[in-house]
Structure 1
Amino acid sequence: MNSRSPAGVVVGVDGSAHAAAAADWAAQEAVRRGCALHLVHAVNTGTVTLSPRTSSAVTDLILHDADAVLADALGKVRASHPTLRLTGDVVPRDAAEAVLTAAEHAELAVVGTRGHGGFASLLLGSVSLRVAAHASCPVVVVRGAPQVGSHVLVAVRDEHDGGTLRFALRTGELTGLPVHALHTWSPVVADVGHMAPMVDEIGEEARLHEQLLRHTCDPIREEFPDVVFEARQEHGATAGTLVEASRKAALLVVSRRQPAPHFGLRLGTAVHAVLHHAYCPVAVVPLG
């Protein structure tokens, strides 16, 4: 049993419909990238609280069932993608830790929004959230059967988002889809009662944001000359704007920035919102 995968795409599976959708998405992505796909099925046998005389047999039974779940997932992927290099492991540990360990040297990790555990009413499971928050590689969270979108949508805040933009353009290159960069901002002038005399100031602010967007995008888009690209800005709340814009996207790409030193959250509020509410798969790209 090897909990670390070769470089390629890693996907967590657990027999749920969400995991099956994630595995199918991951397989298609591995084919596009020309790399291997590694399936990870985690079972936390440490939660078995039976007497020492019976726990060994029960653990063996759990692992046997886990092998069957993995074999079923491998079989379905192999049937759909017979030429794909495919490996898989049953890992007796916490699910998020298993995927994170397997993805340490991967190009990409893929998870579904929810597995069998937790509350059915939750839009995003704790495993998916932990993997997105801590993985050293980009993570794609797939909800249900991915929609057929017309483009790759990438959120761009400033020049620090270069790696995220590059990931989106690489995806556009692999899929043949155009890439739309979206920069959102809120006007500094928020006093509605004094908006009229400040229109010029808002216009100047918009021009500054346009310069920032071009300064960030232009050097990187030149690396992908065959990808159709457009960039636009909108003023408004970032989370709501991105969620609404994701309706027609095949993939929404966002950045995971370093957390503030005195706060525990590793994902910003906008990233949390799109992970829970976006209409398409979401890629979370860690920034250095």
Structure 2
Amino acid sequence: MIIVGVDGSVTARAAVEWAANDAFRMRVPLRIVHAVDRTPYQVGRYPNPSLPDVLLREGRRILREAEALVHERQPTVEVTTQEVEGAPATVLREQAKDATEIVVGSRGLGGFAGALLGSVSTHVAGHARCPVVVVRPEHRPVHGEVVVGVDDSPECEPALAYAFEQAKLRGATLRAVHAWQLPVHAFAPEATYDMDEVRTAQHQVVRDRLNAAREEYPQVTVVEDVHAAHPVDALVEASGQADLLVVGSHGRGAMGSMVLGSVSRGVLHHARCPVAVVRS
């Protein structure tokens, strides 16, 4: 099941459209979730007793409009709606237990004007244990390409599997981007490198990661794209001609809690297409 969070914003509408199309491709049901957060309205000496009812009515209106949008875009997708009381980030994180994928807009109605990424999308992408797709509101042409970040870490493997599956479902080319930088040795600034040897080793990293997946997805055309650059820069550049950018998350927070790694965080803030963050 795909779950999409809505709050009536333009980015939420874009998320619903994206989720409806992905549910159609995957042939799975879609659940539209709206979180009713009363907390900001329960502060003060004279709370408004009718406000909770207003919030619930508004939530039902938002859900009806989102459901109608799904029926308009993908009439054959099975869709349900759910209104849940609680903070949006917490509600969506809890929903991840039932989800194949969670889809959210890049920023909702509560975000700061001009912010590229809202607190809810940041939190969900950093904590949910299923793939999280963050969608921007801009309508873009279809490019027929899925981009995935590849490195030599174990966290790369689930992201690769998700990216190959998305490319197969879309009939798209998969661009595997591996970006590398020369290490900086603080105590040996005079160190020199054989650039051809380094470049060959980096190409091998990409091939080793891709070979197993290529056997499982022979129908997917793969383009290997290796850059001597910062990973965020290389992935953001590739996102300009992509329908989806997929990254694994290397983040680990205090006490082992999940948070976004620096690359996935940077990509979420700057990518020009929807971004999927995939955990191991």
Matches within 5 A, 1:20-59: 20-49=13-42, 55-59=48-52
Q: SS state of the match for residue 157, structure 1?
A: coil
Residue 85 to residue 263, structure 1, CA distance change in 2 (3 Å): closer
Residue 179 of structure 1, CA deviation:
0.4
Q: Distance in 2 between matches of 1:213 and 1:110?
A: 28
Residue aligning to 1:123: 116
Residue aligning to 1:105: 98
Indicate if the aligned counterparts of 1:159 and 1:215 stay in contact, CA closer than 8 A. no
Q: Distance in 1 between matches of 2:182 and 2:10?
A: 42
Residue 42 of structure 1, CA deviation:
0.8
Residue aligning to 1:274: 267
- TM superposition score normalised by structure 2: 0.91
- Of 55, 66, 72, 1:73 maps to 66
Matches within 5 A, 1:146-161: 146-147=139-140, 148-160=142-154, 161=156
- Of 14, 19, 23, 2:12 maps to 19
Q: SS state of the match for residue 268, structure 2?
A: helix
- Of 179, 188, 203, 2:174 maps to 179
Residue aligning to 1:256: 249
Residue aligning to 1:4: none
Does residue 136 (structure 1) correspond to residue 121 (structure 2)? The answer is no
Match of 2:159, as an amino acid? T
Match of 1:163, as an amino acid? P
Residue 168 of structure 1, CA deviation:
0.4
Residue 131 to residue 51, structure 1, CA distance change in 2 (3 Å): closer
- TM superposition score normalised by structure 1: 0.89
Residue 284 to residue 146, structure 1, CA distance change in 2 (3 Å): farther
Q: Distance in 2 between matches of 1:51 and 1:216?
A: 56
Identity %: 37
Q: Distance in 1 between matches of 2:258 and 2:228?
A: 25
Residue aligning to 1:205: 198
- Of 183, 192, 198, 1:188 maps to 183
Root mean square deviation, CA, Å: 2.3
> Any idea what the Cα deviations from partners look like across 1:197-249, whole Å, max 9, x if unmatched?
x46x1211111112222111101111001111122311111111111111111
Indicate if the aligned counterparts of 1:162 and 1:220 stay in contact, CA closer than 8 A. no
Q: Distance in 1 between matches of 2:146 and 2:139?
A: 13
Higher mean displacement: 19-28 or 97-106: 97-106
Q: Distance in 2 between matches of 1:282 and 1:152?
A: 10
Residue aligning to 1:285: 278
> Any idea what the Cα deviations from partners look like across 1:139-186, whole Å, max 9, x if unmatched?
000011342223100000115111111110000110000101011110
Structure 1: segments with no counterpart, 5+ residues: 1-7
Residue 261 to residue 247, structure 1, CA distance change in 2 (3 Å): same
Q: Distance in 2 between matches of 1:184 and 1:89?
A: 41
Residue aligning to 1:5: none
Indicate if the aligned counterparts of 1:173 and 1:227 stay in contact, CA closer than 8 A. yes
Structure 2: segments with no counterpart, 5+ residues: none
Q: Distance in 2 between matches of 1:52 and 1:64?
A: 24
Does residue 246 (structure 1) correspond to residue 210 (structure 2)? The answer is no
Does residue 226 (structure 1) correspond to residue 209 (structure 2)? The answer is no
Indicate if the aligned counterparts of 2:11 and 2:105 stay in contact, CA closer than 8 A. yes
Q: SS state of the match for residue 183, structure 1?
A: strand
Match of 2:148, as an amino acid? V
Match of 1:277, as an amino acid? H
Residue-pair matches, total: 276
Residue 17 of structure 1, CA deviation:
0.5
